[in-house]
Amino acid sequence: MALDLEQLPQEIRSEVEAVMAEKDRLEKENRLLQQQLRLAYLLKFGRRSEKLSDNQLELLEQEASVTEGELQQEAGQEQKDQAELKNQKKKSKTRTKPHPGRMPLPPHLERKETIIGAHPDDCYCSQCQSEKPVIRYEITEELAVKPAEYYVEVKKQEVRACAKHPEEGVKTAPTPEKILPKSKLGDSVIIDAVLKKYTEHLPVYRQCAILDRDFGIELDRGTLTEAIMAAGNLLRPVSGAIAEDLRQGDYIQGDDTTVPCQSRRTVGKNHQAYLFEFGRPGGPVVFDFQMGRSRDGPKAFLANFEGYLQTDAYSVYTGMGGKGITLVGCMAHLRRGFWRAHELAKEDPRPLEVLGLIKELYALEEQARNKGLSWRERGQLRQEKSLPTAHRLKERIIALRQEPGVMPGTAFAKACDYALNHWEKIEPIFADGRLELDNNLCENSIRPLALGRKNWLHIGSETAGKKVAAIASVLETCRRLGINARDYLQDVLPQLGQWPINRVAELTPMAWAQGGSA
């Protein structure tokens, strides 16, 4: 039965209204605190915890310790229970699909046959004792591997002299160019170590342990590290040439990640340095090592650049939006706020409504990719279809933000504010088909470095940071361009020590891809 306040005396009615107002305030404050608590749990336990319920997160918080394995198991438990329940309901209605069979192994691989003989008792007829002929073979194929083979390459340089004319002197064959002159490590070993460290994230000490364990080769860790850094030093001019090519274009995507670095600036702990990434979709990538996250690094790198700069909302790039540079935002970062709001309050339909409109924009981008549209055709598609959807998205965000139930400080309110504050940087995307809808290509390129960072532990020095950045720039550019990095390094690296610095642009991965070799 509803309480009719109008029938109560004025004094009592005022007290009831005050109690109800206080109750409403406390409920809103409670919802906000619950969101903040869940957000703290998500940040603490990581990406997998998004799949956990509030009850699971609270129980995990009470544990004395939580391992990654426990978190992973918990993350899948609720979905597993729901899936089992769903399967039980549909078990009688669904039919088992036929197994598609094994995928064939690649035809380009060499086939080595092994004949497996029958048991001796099965080779002769039990009736006449004559030998049974082989009438056919049961054939199966399986993938096999032969471990890497290490060997000592003995190089003999011819030394020639004329016995009849000693005054001609002795002539020795020229010494072949090497990545690290006078080193006992061949170029192929150094390149293999570079690739294992920066593409497979295998630290040097583990590589040395594997060499000793599997091949009986005792190699000092310092020796291999020195060789890798020598390769990085040779690649620094190449990285500079890649950067110059990038600045000559009119579209750059930017991002950054932290890397721990040993430094005298911090005693007793690693200094937090940064790798700034700058790249062109489908083109070159450069990593710029900096000891801090100030504006000076990106400002120096982009000093002569004119065009579009697409980044996240980090304030360091705000000052870049001056003469000649147009700042472009990222739809993925805009979307991320609403997805977090949905994860924190799944009963609220408003974040899902916004996410649905953003999904329409991405569906149009996928349509353009599937049809192989040129950037001009993609720009036309955006003008015709994406731009009206973007207008609806902005208008809806404005309307939802102004609703009385949206409390300041909540995840949804923050997502709306972020979107509206940065919408001006989103608009250029719909005016130029060359621009990507988000900065994900850039983030994907920086992800391997973030993964490798867990294995490297740290970068040894500021000087080493420059060399690591050069290696990462070349390897990621090769990956973007579809170049076999091993083939490229094997061809280019030995030449760099004697190559004229003013012609280093001829040895970039872009130039190498055009000519096939240096």
416 and 455, same domain (yes or no): no
3-state class of 294 per DSSP? coil
8 Å CB contact between 509 and 284: yes
324 and 445, same domain (yes or no): yes
8 Å CB contact between 247 and 238: no
E-strand stretches of 237-329: 251-261, 271-279, 285-290, 307-310, 325-328
315 and 349, same domain (yes or no): no
Q: What is the pLDDT of residues 330-386, one digit of tens each?
A: 999 999 999 999 988 888 899 999 999 999 999 999 999 999 999 999 999 999 999
Q: Please report whether residue 307 resides in a domain.
A: yes
Q: What is the pLDDT of residues 282-310, one digit of tens each?
A: 899 999 999 888 888 888 898 889 999 99
Q: Please report whether residue 164 resides in a domain.
A: no
Residue 366: other Cβ atoms inside 10 A: 10
Q: Please report whether residue 425 resides in a domain.
A: yes
pLDDT at 431 over 80: yes
What b/e string do you get for 76-96 counting C-beta neighbours within 10 Å, with b at 16 or more? eeeeeeeeeeeeeeeeeeeee
Q: What is the pLDDT of residue 91?
A: 58
Task: Give the residue-averaged pLDDT of 5-27.
Answer: 78
372 and 414, same domain (yes or no): yes
Q: Domain ends where: 430, 454, 478?
A: 430
413 and 459, same domain (yes or no): no
Of 152-166, 251-265, 481-495, the range with the lowest mean pLDDT is 251-265
Of 159-163, 216-220, 448-452, the range with the lowest mean pLDDT is 448-452
Tally of residues, the chain: 518
Question: Which pair of tokens denotes residue 200?
Answer: 């497979």
Give the H/E segment covering residue 85. helix 68-90
Q: What is the pLDDT of residues 445-482, one digit of tens each?
A: 877 666 655 555 567 788 888 999 999 999 999 999 99
- 145 vs 121, higher pLDDT: 121
Q: Domain ends where: 403, 430, 457?
A: 430
Q: Please report whether residue 224 resides in a domain.
A: no
Place of tokens 């979307």: 335
Long-range CB contact pairs, 360-366, < 8 A, 24+: 360/389, 361/331, 361/386, 361/389, 361/390, 361/393, 361/437, 362/331, 362/437, 364/389, 365/437
Which residue range is the domain that position 285 belongs to?
Answer: 229-328+440-515
Question: Which pair of tokens denotes residue 500?
Answer: 């004229």
Residue 306: other Cβ atoms inside 10 A: 14
Task: Give the residue-averaged pLDDT of 237-254.
Answer: 94
CA distances from 156 to 103, 174, 182, 413 (A): 48, 11, 14, 73
Comparing CA positions, the residue from 340, 361, 367, 368 lying closest to residue 352 is 340
285 and 418, same domain (yes or no): no
Long-range CB contact pairs, 191-197, < 8 A, 24+: 191/231, 191/486, 191/489, 191/490, 191/493, 192/148, 192/486, 193/224, 193/227, 193/228, 194/228, 194/231, 194/232, 194/471, 194/489, 195/475, 195/485, 195/486, 195/489, 197/228, 197/452
Domain tally, the chain:
2
234 and 313, same domain (yes or no): yes
Q: What is the pLDDT of residue 413?
A: 92
276 and 423, same domain (yes or no): no
Comparing CA positions, the residue from 516, 517, 509 lying closest to residue 473 is 509
What b/e string do you get for 472-495 counting C-beta neighbours within 10 Å, with b at 16 or more? bbbbbbbbbbebebeebbbebbbe
pTM: 0.73
CA pair distance 49, 340, nearest whole angstrom: 12
Query: What share of the chain has pLDDT > 90, as a percent?
Result: 47
Q: What is the pLDDT of residue 74?
A: 61
For residue 172, the cross-strand partners are 159
Angle subtended at Cα 456 by Cα 450 and Cα 460, rounded to the nearest 5 degrees? 115
Of 23-37, 104-118, 126-140, 427-441, the range with the lowest mean pLDDT is 23-37
3-state class of 162 per DSSP? coil
pLDDT at 136 over 70: yes
Q: What is the pLDDT of residue 17?
A: 78
pLDDT at 58 over 70: no
Long-range CB contact pairs, 399-408, < 8 A, 24+: 400/350, 400/353, 400/354, 403/350, 406/350, 407/28, 407/31, 407/32
Q: Please report whether residue 209 resides in a domain.
A: no
Q: Please report whether residue 262 resides in a domain.
A: yes
Q: How many helices (H) and strands (E) does the chain have?
A: 17, 7
CA pair distance 309, 447, nearest whole angstrom: 20
412 and 397, same domain (yes or no): yes
Q: Residue 149 — pLDDT band, cuts 50, 70, 90? A: confident
Q: Residue 63 — pLDDT band, cuts 50, 70, 90? A: very low
Q: Please report whether residue 37 resides in a domain.
A: no
Q: Please report whether residue 93 resides in a domain.
A: no
248 and 295, same domain (yes or no): yes
Task: Give the residue-averaged pLDDT of 399-417.
Answer: 89
Q: Residue 483 — pLDDT band, cuts 50, 70, 90? A: very high
Q: What is the pLDDT of residues 8-18, one digit of tens each?
A: 777 777 777 78
Q: Domain ends where: 374, 405, 430?
A: 430
What residue type is assigned to position 306 of the chain?
E
287 and 365, same domain (yes or no): no
